Structures are given as C-alpha cells and as structure tokens.
C-alpha cells in the first residue's frame, strides 16, 4: 500500500509537484472536473431544493476507476486542486465520487508551485471549504437555469441553435451599446491653433498652443487677423516637480489588459500561457483579484532591485486590494523567484513572464521624478494665451524597467520635451501660426482588454470568468473580431505666415478599426430581444449584485439554495410570460420599404445561415405558387444599417458574369460568402472583389488560380485504389484515404511512394493509440 496519494487537476501541475515530493508520494491528475451536469438535459431538480444532477462523462469513467483504486490503496489522500472556488469544487467532486474516507483525506492549497510552498501546504492541511463549493455550485446552477429556460425561446422567436447566458449576454449588451454609440455619433468641428515663435536671439524656436479651441472658420480668420499686428510677450514662467508612481503588480484582469496592449495576446491566449507558467512553477496562481505581495516576495524584490539598480531605485510599497472577492487567491501574479528575470521556453512564454517580472519589480521601485515647465505667452490685449508645456525626466525610477501602455480612450497629455531657456517679459517674433480643423472623437470600440476592464469596473464576472466570457460570445456568433474600413474626411488648414493668411484643404482617413469586438446581426437581435423581455437579466447592477451574492455564499453569509430560490421565483414567471407572447413577424425583422418595380415589401431578417433580405411575402392562396425571393447580405452590411437601395442590389444575384470554356460563370452569394459557379464547381470570390461588379476576366483568373493551386496540391494517386491520394498540405505532404489523413514518416519521398508503402503507413498509423490531449483550462462544473 502506497503512503500518500496527491490528486491535482492538471497533468502538467502533477509533473511539477512530483519533482518536490519523495517516494512516499504518488501524484495523479483528474484532468479538470470528473463529473458535470448532463450536457443536453436541464439537470436541476427545482422541486427538491435545486439539487444538481451530476454525471460522470463517458471519457472520464476509466480515469475515475483508476483514481478510486489508487485512493483505496493509499493511506492518505491529499486533494491539491487550485485554491479558488472552481478548484474547491473539483476537490469536493473528487471526494464525493471516489467515496473518500474523510479521516484520511485532507485538502491542501498553495498559490505557487515551488518546493517551499508545497511543503508548507503539506504541513498545513485543512478540510474542504463547503462554502466555496456552494458558491461555485450556485453560479453553475443559476447559469444552467438561465441558459436552459431562455434558449428555447430564442430558438422559436429568432432562429434555432441560439443560446443565452447570464453574464455573456451582459457582455454582448456592452458591445452592442457601444456599436450604436459609434454609429450615432456626430462629430463636432473646432480649430486647434498652434504657433511657432522666434526667441530674441533670432534662431531659437518655441512652439506653443492656444489655450482654447476656435469654433469655426470665421472666428479663426478674425483671430489670425488680430495676430498680424499683435505683440507676443512671455508673461509667465512656472516650473514644478512632478512624480509618477508605479502601478500595482498584476491581477488577472490587469495582466490580460497589458498583455493585449503590449504583446497583442488575446485574453484566452494570455490565460493559457499564464497557466503553463504557473504549472511549471514559474509564477504564482494566475486567477486572482489581489494586488498584495507576500513578505517573502517583497524581500526578494528588494534584493533584486539593490543588486541590479542600486539603493536609490528602491522604495517599499504595500498595495491593498480594493475589490472584494473571497473566491480568489490572496496574492498578486508574480514570479516565484525574483532572481530569475528571464526564462527559457517558447517566445510567448518568455514575453509574458518578462512582462510579469518587470511589473512586479517596478512596483517596488522609486517614483520617476520629472520637472514640468509651463510658459505662457500673451497676445497683445487679447485674453487668450499661447501655452508651451515641457517635461524633463530628472530621475527615471521605475520607468527604467517598466512603462504601462495607455488605452486608446485615455488620451495622453502632449508635451514638448525640453523647452528652450526664456526670460520673463521676453518679446517673441511670430514665425508661423496654423489653425487646423479638428473633430470630436467618437467613443472607441471595445478590444478584449478594454472589455475586461469595463466588466471589472461594473463588478461583472470574476478573474476566473473573464476569458471564458469573451471566448463564449465569439463561439456563439454574437460577436466577432473584425475590422471596420475608414472613410475619407476633408479638413481645413488656415495659416498665418509673413503677415498673410492662406486657407487650404487636406484629407484624412477616419474611423478605421482593426481587431475590435464587433456585434453580429444575430448578436444585436438577441440582445434587443433580451433587453425587451428580460431587462433585469441584462441590467448591469443586477448582474453585479448576483456576483456579490456568490461572494456572500463563499463567506458563509448566505445559503446558496435560498439565493437560487429567490432568483428562480422572480425569473421563471418572466420566462413563461415571454414564451406565451405571439408576434406578427419574426423577431428582429425590419421592413425597409417596397420594391419600386413590383411594389412588393422588402425585409431584412436573420435566416438559418445568417442575415438575409426578403423580397415579397408567401402567397396565402394555395392556387398561386408565389414565393418570396431571398438574398444573403454582403460583407460589411448589417440589418440595422442597410438601406432599401442596397438591399435591392442583392437581388441582382445570381448574375451571369460571362462564359469560359463553353460554360456560364455565375456570381452569387452562399452560406460561406460570395463565389463563382462554373461547370459544376465553385470558386470563392475574395474580399477585394464584389460579386455584383466582378468582370469576366477577373472570374476567369480566379478559376484558373484555383486550378493551379489544386494541381500543386496533388502529388500522386493509384488507379487500383482511387480513394487513396498523396497530397500537399499546409504542413507538408500526407496521405488522404477514405476521409482520413495520414502523416508521412520523416525522410519519405512523397512522389516515389508505392501503393504498398502507403497502405503500410496507414496500417501503422491506425495501430497507434490516440494521444489524449490534456485540457489547458478547467472545464466548468
């Protein structure tokens, strides 16, 4: 009989922990949760106090048997899953399913996988915290209730296969609301006036900006005209010291935001990499809303700063967490060893680790010291002033190591750097004055990073849920990562030089967005439906209050089933009332007008495969075979904004583009976008071309390009086995046979393979056991 069995939820974590423990310990992985609610059933017994009906998935049954046997053969069982609510629930499920003897079962927790942390956890075991488990169960059950009760209504009212989620729907609302703000925004023009002056030495230049904006071209001309004869004198010089302090060490959300801004990582990508670093023992637990650092980390940071930069760069700081969330680990994300500024591994791991290391070091470093000089320049007898602001870095402090990247919606104050030496009452000569027309900026669309920040500000979600929220709304097709083309705008430039005023016009591109979170038509319609019939579910305060109730459950201050009962009695009647509502037309359908030729109505709505335009209504007379016509909306078109004229052009498809090799080329739009149909084959039309305007020559080029690509893809086939082919793929040559692909052994010459050799490769590949890929994140129970 083995002495101690340690169960963790990840094989990578098991491998790291095993290095620190002796022969008396055997470490196994549960690969996340070993049981869950039934996938396609409600699985909540409402009448019996909201009891969840858990099942062991088929792919976990063998593992459960192995864990049961190992637990039975061990003197002690140590449950070492993560220390948040999800980890506590995993430990509880293991205890329940494996039938563990509570006298020989202990729960151990640690927020970093280091030898000291593991040994300390072994010396301080505890029992499973049922309050944390119940908080996790409450979240899981409540989300299941919302999803399973609202989703069927969406299927009937909008289209099949849609789903609703309590927190995800709120995130979609944020993105839809922001998109509408952007579309409704009307920019207002004004003029920013800057001037370049010559100092009394006749060569040194000083740039300054007028301390107010001018409203229109008339006011600009009047102001510039008054400046032709005006005297410009320095009437005030002020210099003051400025200090900049470092930000706290990373929480989950701030790490996700900075990794997005500095490294270009998605939120999910950041969490996958961070989990890998944590399970390798390189950083502390990555799901946390705490900015606290342990005394050990503070001491190690102190030594690292002294050794690398010297005493003057060190300043002790103790950060305190503002948010209240009992579920999370009680320390910020930091390296486990502050003497390791760089790690080996892949590029992404190195980059994120370096970011975490620098942020941790910087938070214990001295303030950056700057000197800010402001020069005020009088304009004759006018009240306005020209102002020049310069900033000089006197001591870089923490900036020597780390500088946070600002968001695009946080405008950075513009300064001139070092200003030239000037004197009070010094007369200046105007060299040039420029009034440039500027416009108020629309609110920025959300990125993953800014959405996480907004969710955190509203108190919606927790560190462990931000990444799943963003992933889920994209998987459901409610939101996409997308680009928005800019549009050209003209703006005026009025210049005063050599006592002459001239006006010119320039052009700029505005509204260009790349990689932003954009709502789809489906997302907008689902959001509008939920806002109309379930406004409380999408209310920001309501959702934040639910999170607070989960926190109260975790702290033992609220009974989880009581919280669920209160919610259900409020929520279920709304579901029944909404389900009974009958609507004349499909939810989200929009009448654009009538066809000028036929007089038939033109609608846009969500179809089975996405947004479509509909011309006409089905005939109510069985004797008349009258059917409406349908056309898919094009790329960049939306149900909300498409016009009648734009919709009517869609019915020009399918259109005959021309002939090629005796067969017609037809341009049309299908489920997966626009394409050319020719000789029974289909060729996609790229984004750069429009199916309504594509020419015969362009269509032929696309068809021939596809043929050439297919020729290059084909390497070899065998007459006696027509289903077997040797092909070129993205990652090299492979064998395709009966719907399956087989990788070639290293050193193979694809063009010289015989049929017998191909069959041997297939047979050997089929004999190999399938590799089980461990989950990178944990499955939510």
Contacts of 707 (CB under 8 A, 6+ apart): none
Is-contact 750 761, C-beta < 8 A?
no
DSSP string, 645-693: HHHHHHTT-SEEEEEETTEEEEEEEETTEEEEEETTEEEEPPTTS-TTT
Cα gap 639→669, rounded to integer Å = 17
83, 314, 344 from 308: Cα distances, Å: 34, 10, 20
Q: How many CA atoms lie within 13 A of 694 on its CB side?
A: 32
β pairing state of 105-107 and 74-79: parallel
Which helix H or strand E contains 179, and what residues bound it? helix 166-184
Cα gap 675→702, rounded to integer Å = 10
DSSP 260: I
Nearest to 361 by CA among 406, 397, 394: 397
Secondary structure string (H, E, C) spanning 399-410 = HHCCCCCCCCCC
Is-contact 5 77, C-beta < 8 A?
yes
β pairing state of 74-79 and 2-8: parallel
Catalytic residues: 285
Cα gap 191→582, rounded to integer Å = 54
Q: How many CA atoms lie within 13 A of 151 on its CB side?
A: 18
β pairing state of 205-210 and 189-198: antiparallel
Is-contact 60 66, C-beta < 8 A?
no
Cα gap 722→2, rounded to integer Å = 56
Would you tell me how many other CB atoms lie within 10 Å of the CB of residue 621? 7
DSSP 281: T
Length of the chain, please? 781
Cα gap 447→481, rounded to integer Å = 9
DSSP 40: T
DSSP string, 702-762: HHHHHHHHHHHHEEEEETTEEEEEEEEETTEEEEEETTEEEEPPTT--GGG--HHHHHHHH
């Amino acid at each position: 009989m083995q002495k101690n069995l340690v169960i963790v939820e990840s094989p990578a974590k098991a491998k790291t922990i095993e290095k620190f423990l002796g022969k008396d310990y055997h470490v196994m992985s549960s690969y996340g949760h070993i049981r869950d609610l039934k996938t396609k059933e409600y699985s909540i017994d409402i009448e019996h106090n909201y009891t969840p009906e858990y099942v062991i998935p088929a792919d976990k049954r063998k593992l459960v048997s192995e864990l049961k046997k190992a637990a039975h053969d061990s003197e002690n069982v140590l449950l070492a899953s993560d220390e948040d609510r999800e980890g506590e629930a995993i430990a509880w499920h293991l205890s329940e399913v494996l039938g563990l003897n509570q006298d020989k079962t202990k729960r151990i927790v640690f927020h970093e996988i280091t030898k000291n942390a593991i040994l300390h956890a072994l010396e301080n075991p505890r029992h499973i915290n049922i309050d944390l488990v119940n908080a996790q169960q409450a979240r899981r059950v409540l989300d299941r209730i919302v999803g399973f009760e609202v989703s069927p209504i969406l299927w009937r009212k909008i289209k099949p296969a849609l789903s609703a989620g309590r927190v995800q729907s709120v995130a979609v609302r944020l993105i839809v609301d922001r998109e509408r703000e952007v579309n409704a925004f009307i920019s207002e023009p004004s003029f920013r006036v800057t001037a370049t002056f010559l100092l009394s030495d006749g060569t040194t230049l000083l740039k300054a900006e007028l301390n107010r904006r001018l409203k229109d071209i008339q006011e600009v001309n009047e102001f510039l005209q008054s400046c032709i004869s005006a005297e410009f004198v320095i009437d005030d010089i002020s210099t003051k010291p400025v200090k900049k302090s470092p930000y706290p060490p990373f929480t989950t959300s701030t790490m996700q935001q900075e990794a997005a801004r500095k490294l270009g990582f998605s939120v999910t990508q950041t969490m996958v990499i961070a989990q890998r670093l944590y399970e390798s023992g390189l950083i502390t637990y990555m799901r946390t809303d705490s900015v606290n650092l342990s005394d050990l980390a503070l001491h190690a940071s102190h030594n690292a700063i002294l050794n690398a930069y010297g005493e003057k760069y060190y300043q002790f700081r103790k950060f305190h967490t503002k948010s209240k969330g009992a579920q999370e680990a009680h320390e910020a994300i930091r390296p486990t060893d502050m003497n390791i500024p760089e790690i080996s591994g892949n590029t992404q791991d190195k980059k994120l680790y370096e970011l975490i290391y620098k942020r941790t070091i910087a938070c214990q470093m001295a303030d950056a010291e700057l000197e800010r000089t402001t020069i005020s320049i009088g304009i004759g007898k006018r009240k306005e002033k020209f102002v020049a602001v310069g900033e000089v870095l006197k001591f870089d402090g923490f900036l020597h190591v780390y500088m946070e990247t600002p968001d695009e919606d946080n405008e950075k104050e513009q300064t001139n750097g070092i200003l030239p030496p000037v004197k009070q009452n010094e007369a200046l000569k105007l060299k040039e004055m420029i009034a440039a027309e500027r416009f108020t900026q629309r609110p920025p669309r959300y990125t993953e990073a800014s959405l996480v920040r907004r969710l955190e500000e509203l108190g919606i979600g927790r560190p462990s849920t931000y990444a799943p929220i963003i992933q889920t709304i994209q998987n459901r097709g409610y939101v996409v990562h997308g680009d928005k083309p800019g549009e050209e705008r003209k703006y005026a430039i009025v210049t005063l030089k050599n006592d002459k005023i001239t006006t010119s016009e320039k052009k700029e591109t505005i509204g260009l967005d790349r990689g932003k979170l954009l709502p789809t038509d489906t997302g907008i319609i689902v959001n509008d439906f939920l806002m109309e019939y379930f406004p409380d579910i999408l209310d920001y305060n309501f959702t934040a209050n639910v999170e607070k109730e989960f926190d109260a459950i975790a702290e033992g201050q609220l009974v989880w089933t009581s919280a669920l009962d209160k919610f259900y009695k409020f929520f279920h009647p709304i579901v029944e009332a909404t389900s009974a509502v009958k609507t004349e037309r499909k939810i989200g359908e929009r009448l654009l007008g009538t066809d000028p030729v036929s007089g038939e109505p033109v609608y846009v709505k969500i179809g089975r495969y996405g947004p479509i335009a509909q011309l006409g209504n089905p005939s109510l007379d069985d004797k008349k075979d009258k059917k409406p016509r349908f056309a898919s909306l094009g790329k960049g078109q939306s149900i909300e904004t498409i016009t009648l004229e734009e919709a009517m052009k869609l019915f020009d498809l399918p259109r005959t583009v021309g002939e090629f090799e005796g067969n017609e080329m037809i341009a049309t739009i299908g489920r997966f976008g626009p394409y050319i149909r020719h000789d029974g084959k289909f060729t996609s039309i790229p984004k750069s071309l429009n199916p309504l305007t594509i020419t015969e020559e362009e269509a032929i080029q696309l068809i021939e390009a596809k043929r050439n690509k297919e020729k290059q893809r084909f390497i070899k086939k065998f007459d006696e086995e027509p289903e077997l082919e040797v092909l070129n793929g993205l990652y090299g040559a492979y064998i395709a046979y009966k719907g399956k692909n087989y990788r070639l052994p290293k050193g193979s010459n694809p063009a010289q393979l015989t049929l017998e050799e191909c069959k041997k490769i297939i047979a050997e590949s089929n004999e190999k056991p399938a590799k089980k890929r461990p989950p990178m994140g944990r499955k939510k129970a």
